[in-house]
């Protein structure tokens, strides 16, 4: 039997936080159950400008990620940040293709695909986000839309070590609404199917996170769903108490 996939809890701070957030981060480190690291991984993705300061502190069980990167390593791309720059600032990982990037910056699967390769080039673990709109869910297209995004956003060569997928139904992000565990199970199963089909044994090892209104109150239920290997947490990752409540649901 294949080894179980290690749970991963990721906090996506989005465009929130300041240099003061170091205190919140310290509270997270202090409050984290010492047993956590033996069973699961925990990561925070702050705005890139805070990465170096937050990641540069004492050795901590919390790892760091960026929220996006450019697909080139350097060059004339005003306002952009490369995967190499994130890596140099202390990131191990990067969120790619988040629905807010797809909506605010017109990012499609092709650009996400190029960014995944950039993350690999820099030695970062890409967390590729996929998810359907409410109209697509109502039209019964969720699984198909998500399967297509997984096929088109992820390049050849993905393994359990170098890729994480996050399923985030767009209508569940920041709304307090979540799909039923049955709906989550269905979409995660269809993602797993595509991963297995494309990457064989490695597909089985790739972690699939659920994201969208994860809270301390619903974390245990969501993490218990088949093929849910962790959570991508927005709003509830900003406060140590909430984020720890979610992380500890993995124990």
Instruction: Using the minimum distance from each CB to ligand PGA, give the nearer residue, 84 or 172.
Output: 172
User: 168 catalytic, yes or no?
Assistant: yes
SS3 85: helix
CB of 122 to ligand PGA, least distance (A): 22
Strand pairing of 62-66 and 7-12? unpaired
Instruction: Using the minimum distance from each CB to ligand PGA, give the nearer residue, 10 or 86.
Output: 10
CB of 214 to ligand PGA, least distance (A): 5
The catalytic residue among 98, 113, 188, 248 is: 98
The catalytic residue among 71, 100, 168, 248 is: 168
Residue reference for tokens 């996006």: 68
Task: List helix spans (H) across 41-98.
Answer: 48-55, 83-88
Contacts of 90 (CB under 8 A, 6+ apart): 51, 52, 54, 55, 56, 64
User: 98 catalytic, yes or no?
Assistant: yes
Q: Which residues bind ligand PGA (CB under 6 A)?
A: 12, 168, 173-174, 211-214, 232-236
Query: How far is Cα 137 from Cα 145, in angstroms, rounded to an integer?
Result: 9
CB of 14 to ligand PGA, least distance (A): 7
Instruction: Using the minimum distance from each CB to ligand PGA, give the nearer residue, 82 or 237.
Output: 237
Query: How far is Cα 129 from Cα 209, in angstroms, rounded to an integer?
Result: 9
Nearest residue to 223 via CA among 176, 171, 184 = 184
Instruction: Using the minimum distance from each CB to ligand PGA, give the nearer residue, 41 or 84.
Output: 41
- Say if residues 128 and 112 touch (Cβ distance below 8 Å): yes
Query: How far is Cα 30 from Cα 162, in angstroms, rounded to an integer?
Result: 29
CB of 164 to ligand PGA, least distance (A): 13
CB of 65 to ligand PGA, least distance (A): 12
Query: How far is Cα 3 from Cα 20, in angstroms, rounded to an integer?
Result: 40
Instruction: Using the minimum distance from each CB to ligand PGA, give the nearer residue, 125 or 199.
Output: 125
- Ranked by CB distance to ligand PGA, the top (closest) residue is 234
Residue numbers annotated as active site? 98, 168
């Amino acid at each position: 039997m294949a080894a179980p996939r290690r749970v991963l809890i990721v906090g996506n701070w989005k465009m929130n936080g300041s240099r003061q957030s170091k205190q919140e981060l310290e509270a997270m480190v202090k409050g984290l159950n010492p047993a956590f690291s033996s069973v699961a991984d925990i990561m925070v993705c702050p705005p890139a400008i805070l990465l170096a300061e937050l990641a540069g502190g004492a050795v901590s069980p919390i790892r760091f990620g960026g929220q996006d990167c450019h697909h080139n390593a350097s060059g004339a791309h005003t306002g952009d940040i490369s995967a190499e720059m994130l890596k140099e600032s202390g990131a191990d990982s990067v969120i790619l293709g988040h629905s807010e990037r797809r909506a605010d910056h017109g990012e499609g699967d092709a650009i996400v695909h190029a960014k995944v390769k950039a993350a690999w080039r820099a030695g970062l673990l890409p967390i590729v986000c996929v998810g359907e709109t409410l109209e697509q869910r109502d039209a019964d297209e969720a699984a198909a839309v998500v399967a297509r995004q997984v096929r088109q956003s992820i390049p050849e060569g993905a393994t359990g070590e170098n890729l994480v997928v996050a399923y985030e139904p767009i209508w569940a992000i920041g709304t307090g609404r979540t799909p039923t565990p049955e709906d989550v199970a269905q979409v995660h199963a269809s993602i797993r199917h595509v991963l297995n089909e494309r990457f064989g044994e490695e597909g089985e090892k790739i972690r699939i996170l659920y994201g969208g209104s994860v809270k301390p109150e619903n974390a245990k239920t969501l993490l218990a769903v088949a093929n849910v290997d962790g959570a991508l947490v927005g709003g509830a990752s900003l406060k140590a108490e909430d984020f720890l409540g979610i992380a500890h649901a993995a124990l």
